[in-house]
Structure 1
Amino acid sequence: MADKLKFALALALLVAGVVGFYLLSEQALVLRVLSVLAGVAAGVAVAWFSEPGRRFVGFAREAITETKKVVWPSRKETVQTTGLVFAFVVVMAIFLWLTDKSLEWVLYDLVLGWK
């Protein structure tokens, strides 16, 4: 139950920051943005101390660790793969255009006799 209250309070703080942005419409933009940032910071701080917040932080750390394990392609591999994709798209476009024109010729000229 306490975690639900903490989560509700975190959401309320986040909403308060956004509402503050609109209530301070006559103020400088810096104050309005600081209002939103303060609401986000306060909401994150409260959520941090709830069980779902701790689980999320653990998940985020594991995601960062897994991202570091990824073997990213080199620039050369990326350019080659992109070139192959473009070439395939061009070949498919030509094939579909030829198929369309062939069916158009068969239907309109041969079957229906429209010229």
Structure 2
Amino acid sequence: MATTQIDTVSTGADKAKLAAVVALVVASLAGYYLLGKQGALAQWAVLLLGLAAAVGVFLTSEWGRQFVGFARDAVKEVKKVVWPTRKETLQMTGYVFAFVVLMALFLWLTDKTLEWVLYDLILGWRK
């Protein structure tokens, strides 16, 4: 199924909403730190309420609607994935571990061979 991409022009209202989102996040963080003497409950309440308000404003903007559409499409695609069975997963993990061990042995043997050729045969440092 082919979807068409529709480019929309960002309106002044959307820009104002995004500015409000930034202002709400900054105000939430400032409120969290300024209410240090009021206790942790007040700090976290201000922070969470401010961030929730920022998310709410963001979701009403055009970018927020596009994000929600993208998230819905992503969930649809994840539902289409055919996940491997437990047996297949264990087999593939075993293959990976076996390959890693073989590659480690190969690299170790290569390293030791080059060390022997360079230091013992060519340079004669280890006699």
Task: Sort the TM-score into its range (normalised by shorter chain).
Answer: over 0.9
Residue 98 of structure 2 is matched in structure 1 by: 87
Residue 15 of structure 1 deviates from its aligned partner by: 1.7
Per the alignment, residue 20 of structure 2 pairs with 9
Post-superposition Cα deviations, 1:57-102, rounded to whole Å, max 9, x if no partner, equal: 1111111111111111122211111111111111111100000000
Per-residue CA deviation, residues 43-62 of structure 1 (Å, 9 max, x unaligned), is 11111111111111111111
For residue 27 of structure 1, report the CA deviation from its aligned partner. 2.7
Once residues 105 and 56 of structure 1 are traced to their aligned partners in structure 2, the CA distance between those partners, rounded to angstroms, is 60
1:22 is aligned to: 33
Report how far residue 104 of structure 1 moved. 0.2
Distance in 1 of aligned mates of 2:88 and 2:39:
48
Q: Higher relative contact order by CA 8 Å / sep ≥ 6: 1 or 2?
A: 1
Question: TM-score of the superposition, structure 2-length normalised?
Answer: 0.84
Task: Give SS of 2:83's match.
Answer: coil
Aligned residue for 1:104?
A: 115
Runs of at least 5 residues in structure 1 that lack an aligned partner in the other structure: none
| Identity, % of aligned positions | 62
What is residue 62 of structure 1 aligned with on the other side?
73
SS of residue paired to 2:124: coil
Q: 1:77 to 1:28 in 2, by over 3 A?
A: farther
Describe how 1:34-73 pairs up with structure 2 within 5 A: 34-73=45-84
Given the alignment of the two structures, is residue 75 of structure 1 paired with residue 86 of structure 2, yes or no?
A: yes
Question: Which amino acid is 1:100 matched to?
Answer: D
